[in-house]
Amino acid sequence: MYPTIEELFESFSRHRPEGKLELIDGRLIVGNTIVGSRLLLRQILQGWKADAAIAFAPIEKWIEALQVGYHLSCSIAGQDTSDALDILEAAVAEIEYQPEDLIAGEGVANYPYHPHHGTRQYLSTSFSNVAEELGGRSLGRDFVMRLGENGFTPDLLFFKSKDLNQLHSWYLNGPAELVIEVLLSGHEYCDRIAKREYYAAAGVPEYWIVDPQQQQVEFWRLLEEQYQQQQPDANGQYRPIGIPGLAFQSDSLWDEESWYRGRSQQTLFILEAEPQPFQRIGAIESETWGSLPFVPMLQLEPTPIRFEQYISWCPAAKFEFFNSKLQISYKRGTKRVLGLLLMTFGLASVVKVLPPQVWVQALKQRVVWEQQDEQRKAEWWWLARQAATVLREQFRIDRVGVIGDLVSSQSLNYWSEIQLVVWDMDRRSNMDVYKALSAVSKEPEFCLLDAEKDYLTVDEREAIEQKLVEI
């Protein structure tokens, strides 16, 4: 029912969506399209299995989602969970599942000299060199620009934090003075039409669309609340109205020799004014990663994602393949992206991403785990105490505590791990500590938190203050 590891890697390397995680109209949009979001959801679930999603919502809600999603008429009213799942298993046994045809535009090429990668990298490096001399900052696409309740991550943006916008801890609130998007084949509609309309409505003064395939740059300037295309002057130079003293000429932009070797960077962006003394722009403290408890609100139908949830839960769009599956900023990031995608599509739609039979199998596995919870917790506590002994004897870490699912009244689930909290740990010994803990147990995994030095989410801080059990 699931692809092989080789098939998973082939899908990841050839067909994964572009690494962009944006919030648009209450949905997590991946790689510029909702199809990209669905493709990423499928790739996560194929690697992490349906069990990864099952852990997010009550069993009864998943049963209802399967009935609605696959139009099942079987009656399970009054049945206990095990009997209901047996009835459901019989109902889905004969369904011939047809995978959705998900094409999210051009696959993301891995080789560095792909025009999209090279052009974006060269633009970013060149603009960074001149931005500080203009008294502003140039940032890439892991940085969020908040426009209303939407969160965009343009390929490149420039801002000076005057009048139009304010810099917050983890995002820019308001339109940047200049936004640049680099086209990728199959995503033209999003950049040329959809995003252009969002940027115009929000008041982005200058929007440039860079097309590496056609070797063209479109310059759009906001005039009377609408974008009007502008042309370079007779020398091929263009001067954005919102950034005095800057001229741009694209001649070297299409030269592969310039992309990574630093040739002629001074000719891409030309500083025509006296450099300004650079002053670090102070950020306003606000929502950050982990500032809200991670509690996705899941229903059969899509649940709108609030901007505060997006900025608190969504990790950097770092898509990698290791441990036999797709990872997005490691395990924690993958879990949170999955939760946001479940909200985006709703459970009745999510169950169509995999065959119905695997969902029933995952539900049955969850029932078994819940029945065995007391025994599993006892085994995990033994491992936690073994780990504490190792930390004390080998690394002189005297104070060790446990938080998380192991001290909760709730059953352990797919995402559960042994969360250890320590004090006075020498950071230089990190690698040795993790190797030692891995020798104690690889499954379940240990999650080690330094109460004094690690960046902790609000969930973790509250757990340490209120629920810590020292061992």
DSSP letters for 288-331: -TT-S-------SS--PPPHHHHHHH-----EEEETTEEEESHH
CATH 3.90.1570.10 domain position(s) in the chain: 115-271
- Which pLDDT value is given to residue 393? 95
**Helices 356-371 and 373-395: angle between axes, nearest 10 degrees:** 70
- Which pLDDT value is given to residue 107? 53
Instruction: Name which of 41, 36, 39 is nearest 20 in CA terms.
Output: 36
- Which pLDDT value is given to residue 264? 47
Name the residue type at position 89: E
Write the CA distances from 280 to 122, 133, 135, 136, 274, integer angstroms: 24, 12, 9, 9, 18
Instruction: Name which of 105, 116, 140, 137 is nearest 29 in CA terms.
Output: 105
- Which pLDDT value is given to residue 1? 84
Cis upstream peptide for 3 (omega within 30°) = no
User: How does strand 319-322 pair with strand 325-328?
Assistant: antiparallel
Q: What is the mean pLDDT of each run of 10 residues along the chain (471 residues)?
A: 93 88 97 94 98 98 97 86 95 92 62 73 86 86 93 93 83 95 87 94 96 93 95 94 89 74 64 74 78 96 98 95 94 97 98 98 97 97 98 94 96 97 84 94 94 85 95 95
Q: Are residues 153 and 22 in contact, defined by beta-carbon separation less than 8 angstroms?
A: yes
User: How does strand 178-182 pair with strand 206-211?
Assistant: parallel
DSSP state of 27: E
CA 53/CA 249 separation, integer angstroms: 49
CATH 3.30.460.10 domain position(s) in the chain: 373-470
Q: Are residues 310 and 23 in contact, defined by beta-carbon separation less than 8 angstroms?
A: yes
The CA-based diameter of the chain, rounded to the nearest angstrom, is: 79
Instruction: Name which of 404, 380, 398 is nearest 461 in CA terms.
Output: 404
Query: Which tokens hold the place of 151?
Result: 């969160």
What fold is seen in the domain 373-470? Beta Polymerase; domain 2 (3.30.460)
CA dihedral 148, 153, 157, 163 (to 10 degrees): 20
Q: DSSP 3-state assignment of 221? A: strand
CATH code for the structural domain at 115-271 = 3.90.1570.10
- Which pLDDT value is given to residue 262? 53
Tell me the pTM: 0.93
